[in-house]
Structure 1
């Protein structure tokens, strides 16, 4: 019945295109003309393209600049004995393999006794078939093991153009021990988290009790095919050819997971920080902002202004041009949460 519910959602979207919200085109009309043939060839829901109002795109279609080069996966142990796993894509570096990563992640909990792990999915919008395969494998690190021989379906990719593709958890005997990391899991997300990464974030909260921190991910939980457009400047269109769907029939396209702890971070500032620490240790961004003193009753009684005094005496503010230290706010808050759950374990139950 649950699977039927998923197909019902797809049927409604086909029979009634307005059932899925449309969005305005953020580009020139001539670009829209070049997108039409691509949608006719690839879009997962052909019926939704019929009678489509001019100047709108169906859900699961994204137009923008060519995607940046993928950055390598990074693992490290942060201060406070917390594991950190940065996934800007789902491709392992040349010369590395999943068996070695399985061992490293498993060692963090079972040998080094790390109580928590931060999985950083920010800026990961990988959405090819191979990326969903890897997302299912990564989810298998954290989901509770099933009975021996039991198949544990995690999600599927559904399309009205082809057969359903089901992704299940890796068999427990494929790992040294399962789950590889049963400790507390925090997942960092932002609006650039999409495709397989957005699906993984939703899945880990649902299956492994992960805590999501950051800003709401993209609404692009779908298998996306990228097509270059002959435009100036160069651009691409990413088209949903299949939609990520949970085993109970819930379609994830257009329904991004709302973070458990939402942060109000300026996107430009976060992108600058992520770019500067992209190839280095995450610990570079673990710098708290300087303490600021504020007016209070005591200062009023003494006719003092601590804000001005603080500004005049602080070396960090003596020079207006002096750059502020890198501060990865989302990662700092994740460490705060893990520290609190370590000090007060009852709260984690």
Structure 2
């Protein structure tokens, strides 16, 4: 089952309160809305129409329909017409939402959304069946096991993609307006590690966050410690924070990540109709990054919590944001638990960067725009060097000669085939040189 894809027509979760009992919306959040609605008179005419429609459907529809089904469908329709991210969560949906923020769930490892009535892949998640099969953000799913998706609702399409772990499923995709092609995947029990870290070169660290889960802040702290240890317990020369194709997640985790990179200042604030929805988050003075030069990579698949991190670091002049403009989801959803393991996921606020920017429907514009590109390395015969000449003089300071072919072949690294990453590393090296590191 695709990750989070049942939950709304554009399944990118930046939840103010999802995934942890500590951050779920409590009853006080719901009370002001209830009080406000109590003051307004009931729309009796509309309620009579609603009851009449129910009676007509029950009496005239081709097959019997019970009241429970009709009422649940009415609730779903009520929420789905508010905005793409508000939704009614049945028991399965609610459990799936909780699983996704814990980092373990069954599925294909894709974030899907709706665009002009078509099912679109927002982002594949690293190290999942989808990413291993080469599925890319922006691909459209036109068939599921040979059945066209045209005309299907998001829920219907996702229901067809759900299944038991180990079962195969064939998706027919269209990429960039090209010809349709098939990709066969095996559903898996996906355990997603939200943070990966490694040294790209001596002194230059790389941290990739695939999504913001409950423990992502802790994982980034551990990653920074790991990089320093691998660097001989010396301060790094620079760090690349990769948020590309990161669909978002838990707001508190995004705040914790930024807190690891700045000493002081505002990180993000939210504004909504309810007093409880107006929150401000500021740095606590940790800055585990030791203030080393920072480059943040984003693209069109970077959404919600990713945009909070990129926007905060950009506004605080802490790092250079590089890549392509982000997705532009600047709204906050609150999960309100209901009876019988159900819940409402409802948009309650917009979030703003430290400088007061709303990212909603606009996104983060990178400081340096670098488009995705393929790296083609030319086969270049090495030039004949001075050290190859017979009778050449030795080096004035001593040391071994360096004739043609004396260099060691470097092991493959992520930046070798990733143009945006290689550009970020080059920028970090330049910053390090100018700062005298």
- Taking structure 1 as the reference length, what is the TM-score of the superposition? 0.53
1:93 to partner: Cα distance: 7.5
Separation in 2, partners of 1:345, 1:97: 29
Q: Are 1:74 and 2:164 counterparts?
A: no
Partner of 1:296: none
Partner of 2:251: 132
Give matches, 1:111-260, under 5 Å: 111-127=233-249, 131-143=250-262, 145-146=263-264, 152-160=265-273, 163-172=276-285, 175=286, 178=287, 180-224=289-333, 240-260=347-367
The count of aligned residue pairs is 223
> Does structure 2 conserve the Cα–Cα contact (< 8 Å) formed by 1:42 and 1:241?
no
1:170 to partner: Cα distance: 4.5
Separation in 2, partners of 1:264, 1:75: 23
1:245 to partner: Cα distance: 1.4
* Unaligned 5+ runs, structure 1: 1-32, 46-61, 147-151, 227-237, 270-287, 294-324
State which of 339, 345, 349 in structure 1 corresponds to 2:435.
Answer: 345
Partner of 1:290: 377
Partner of 1:85: 207
1:254 to partner: Cα distance: 2.4
Separation in 1, partners of 2:124, 2:328: 20
1:154-213, Cα deviation, whole Å (9 max, x unpaired): 2122223563342423423xx4xx453301110011100001101210111111431111
Q: Give SS of 2:307's match.
A: helix
Separation in 2, partners of 1:344, 1:197: 29
1:214-261, Cα deviation, whole Å (9 max, x unpaired): 1111111222579xxxxxxxxxxx975421113554322123221122
1:114 to partner: Cα distance: 1.2
Q: Give SS of 1:85's match.
A: strand
Q: Give SS of 1:343's match.
A: helix
Partner of 1:229: none
Separation in 2, partners of 1:208, 1:107: 27
Mean Cα displacement is larger for which, 85-94 or 213-222? 85-94
Q: Are 1:262 and 2:388 counterparts?
A: no
Q: Tell me how large the CA RMSD over aligned residues is.
A: 4.0
Structure with a larger share of its residues in helix: 1
Separation in 1, partners of 2:258, 2:377: 38
Change (3 A) 1:191 1:239: farther
Q: Give SS of 2:314's match.
A: helix
1:139-168, Cα deviation, whole Å (9 max, x unpaired): 11122x34xxxxx43212222356334242
> Does structure 1 conserve the Cα–Cα contact (< 8 Å) formed by 2:311 and 2:353?
no
Structure with a larger share of its residues in strand: 2
- Taking structure 2 as the reference length, what is the TM-score of the superposition? 0.43
Partner of 2:11: none
Partner of 1:37: 78
Partner of 1:22: none
1:79 to partner: Cα distance: 1.6
Separation in 1, partners of 2:232, 2:258: 18
Larger radius of gyration: 2
1:69-91, Cα deviation, whole Å (9 max, x unpaired): 57421011112421110001123
Separation in 1, partners of 2:208, 2:320: 16
1:341 to partner: Cα distance: 1.7
Separation in 1, partners of 2:303, 2:247: 4
* Unaligned 5+ runs, structure 2: 1-73, 87-112, 127-191, 336-344, 381-414
1:101 to partner: Cα distance: 4.3
Change (3 A) 1:333 1:249: closer
> Does structure 1 conserve the Cα–Cα contact (< 8 Å) formed by 2:243 and 2:297?
yes
Change (3 A) 1:337 1:80: farther
Mean Cα displacement is larger for which, 180-189 or 162-171? 162-171
1:103-143, Cα deviation, whole Å (9 max, x unpaired): 4467689942211000000111124xxx2101111111122
